[in-house]
Structure 1
Amino acid sequence: MPARKMPEALPLQERKQPIDKNAIDVEGRTVTLVFTTGATVRRRRYVGWDSVVPFDETLTVSRDAIDLSRMNAGAPVLDSHATYTTFSQVGVVERAWIEGKEGKALIRFPKAGIDESADRMFAMVADEIIKNVSVGYSIDKVRIVEAEKKGQVEQHIVERWTPYEVSFVTINADPNAQVRAAETAATYLLEIDVPVISHEPARARVRISELYGI
């Protein structure tokens, strides 16, 4: 089976995680949170104009798999993945790291009185009203395992990925929900491993446009 042709553009993905109420420093205006546990999420890909194929996406969580360079360079903390204006930024990532099978980050809000939106967000988080956080990320390398039996779905094992931002979000009832996005930002190389007839993996490197999520 030949390597599947990938679409010209892929969205920046987002996943939701709960906030640990014990990790909120009210005086220091910081929050320590888990931005990923690598859980499997049901997603969809499109074939042609009218066919939708479900697949399961699993993020690999390790120091080799996650590129934390953008996070540790001061990634933005946003309100609901909004990227059109700096007014949507309510904080900054001070530090990100891998601890076991979790990706964690220490985020900092500005001093009280600097920004009304940031003050509101921190107050809502500190009062445990807003409890959910979502991470926006790009996929750098993915291994695709085709479905073998009826009723099974493709497995997309993301072996390398890059978090770009952390957002505070409202609804987290459905852990399999995906926030869609649509603004072209840059290009990068995506490596895709797909099976062939001999059952040996074939690697394709394709350049795609990166879409930044909102």
Structure 2
Amino acid sequence: MPSFSALPHTQHADGKYRLRRYSVVAFRNNQVEDIGQHDFMQSDEFNHFQGNVVRHFEPIDSAVLQSAGLAELCALFVEANALPDGTTIEIHQMRVVAIYDETQVAPEGVHQDGFDHIAMTSISRHNIVGGEIMLYDDNHSMPFFRRILADGETVLLADNKLWHNATPITAVAPEEEGHLDLFVLTARREHA
């Protein structure tokens, strides 16, 4: 948890309130192996907010990448999705800071991310209301699932079949920082 306090701001459109580190790893023999990739891009087909923009992020600290907790999170992600040994996993370590009356957790709105599998794990909520995860059958329907994730709780979804969003967050006590800390893991299935 302390590593979230050191997440940097970026120059990206959401970089003042969605602080992030990003690493791509191979998960092999229950070990996290850093691939060394730190640039991230989504097609504007999936991200109308920052699509077709190459975004560079500082890597996740090696102590976090090599921690037992992150290895366990990757192992559960791989197991739950029946992914093969050596699967490439993109990991976003994020803090969304409540700097506005309503700060967008997902500024792109109801969306898909262009992967087959996603896991969103809540690490900590501090001085906020909101941040409810919502899942949809498509981008025109009402959510069929809504939940504020408790610390340590994970939601897994088939990103190629479902859509997701989150409600904005607001600081309860405006004079104190409010934030939502989470890990987002994504993977593509190897298609023959």
Q: Same fold (TM over 0.5)?
A: no
Report the TM-score when normalising by structure 1: 0.27
Instruction: Please tell me whether Structure 1 or Structure 2 has the larger radius of gyration of its CA atoms.
Output: 1
Report the TM-score when normalising by structure 2: 0.29
Higher relative contact order (CA 8 A, sep 6+): 1
